[in-house]
Amino acid sequence: MSMIALKEFKIRWGMAIDVDKCTGCGACMVACQAENNIAPVSDASDKRRALNWLVVYELSNGKAFPDHDLAYLPRPCQQCGTYPCASVCPVTATDKNEEGGIVSQIHPRCIGCRYCMAACPYHARYFNWQDPVWPRGLEKTITPDVSVRPRGVVEKCSFCHHRFMWAKDLARLENREPGRLREGDYLPACAESCPSGAIVFGDLHNPTHRVHQLAGSERAFRLLERLGTEPQVYYLSRRAWVRRQGDNYLPDEKKPLP
């Protein structure tokens, strides 16, 4: 059980990721790296160097051919309601204090102690063991939107928070209420890029948003829900074995599936 009381906001940005629609193509991962200035590495299997804010995991039902089934599960930061990471940060470099409920990560404030990485049950946080390096010329792909992180700090997915800021600016310019964005005004890069429309993004509190409806679906589940982290990322699957892999169960556990 989490030590932190659930932090509530008027808006709760959330995702509903349809695992059944994901082919594991990796478009979201590419879009995420390009959007958030994550440096390329020549050996991506070297886990000390390869950072990813979003990873697409391959799930298997564990059965041998021909009963085998597989699914792909994209994992951004879960933006937990009872954030285990921010509660252990000794310098408040990570916090959940903004309307929308996105867990912030302030890189220049981070001292690199990695407590948050130990606390995060989703492995959503990454440590810069080395300075990021863009081979000559490739630095031209660095965007103005997200600061480049030096070695020694932890980083993670921010739901492309800069796009939230843009959406609010555009709303202000068009004399709309920045606190009441329309569905689709703000989309993270992964949700925007998915060719299957597997990632639906919006305000979990707003009943007119699709993500609100999907989160209430009987197909919906969250990762490690029994830890009480209250993630803002929902997953959807028709397949019971996929839903069951969203959490840890004892082999003979009788608890009904989520």
The SS3 assignment for 191 reads: helix
Among the listed residues 6, 169, 180, 226, the single contact to another protein using CB under 8 A: 169
The only residue of 173, 250, 251, 253 in contact with another protein, by rule CB under 8 A: 173
Q: Is 105 helix (H, G, I), strand (E, B) or coil?
A: strand
What residues numbered 221-250 form the site for another protein, per CB under 8 A?
237-239
Which phi and psi (to 5°) does residue 12 adopt? -130, 95
Which residue, 128 or 229, has its beta carbon nearer to another protein? 128
Tell me how far, at minimum, the Cβ of 144 lies from another protein, in Å.
5
Which residues from 54-93 bind another protein, rule CB under 8 A?
Answer: 56, 58, 60, 63-66, 68-72, 92
Minimum CB distance to another protein, residue 225 (Å): 21
Q: Which of residues 29-58 bind another protein (CB under 8 A)?
A: 29-31, 33-35, 37, 40-46, 50, 52, 56, 58
Helices (H), 129-203: 161-173, 189-193
Closest to another protein by CB, 221 vs 227, is 221
Q: Which of 16, 19, 80, 227 binds another protein (CB under 8 A)?
A: 19
Least distance to another protein, CB of residue 246, Å: 15
213, 210, 255, 5: CA torsion to nearest 10: -90
Residues contacting another protein: total by CB under 8 A: 90
CB of 121 to another protein, least distance (A): 20
Nearer to another protein, 106 or 119 (CB): 106
Beta strands of the chain (E only): which ranges? 13-18, 55-60, 70-75, 94-95, 104-105, 125-127, 154-156, 199-203, 220-221, 233-236
Q: Which amino acid is at 177?
A: E
With CA atoms as reference, report the closest residue to 104 among 34, 38, 155. 155
Contact 209, 16 (CB under 8 A): no
- Please identify, using beta-carbon distances, which residue of 110 and 120 lies nearer to another protein: 110
Q: Which of 78, 82, 193, 245 binds another protein (CB under 8 A)?
A: 193
CA distance 41 to 29: 14
Does 20 sit near another protein (CB under 8 A)?
Answer: yes
Query: Counting contacts by CB under 8 A, is residue 198 touching another protein?
Result: yes
CB of 48 to another protein, least distance (A): 13
**Coil vs helix vs strand at 202:** strand
Measured CA to CA, the distance from residue 79 to residue 104 in angstroms comes to 9
Q: Does 118 bind another protein (CB under 8 A)?
A: no
Q: Are strands 233-236 and 13-18 parallel, antiparallel or unpaired?
A: parallel
Nearer to another protein, 185 or 228 (CB): 185
The amino acid at 251 = P
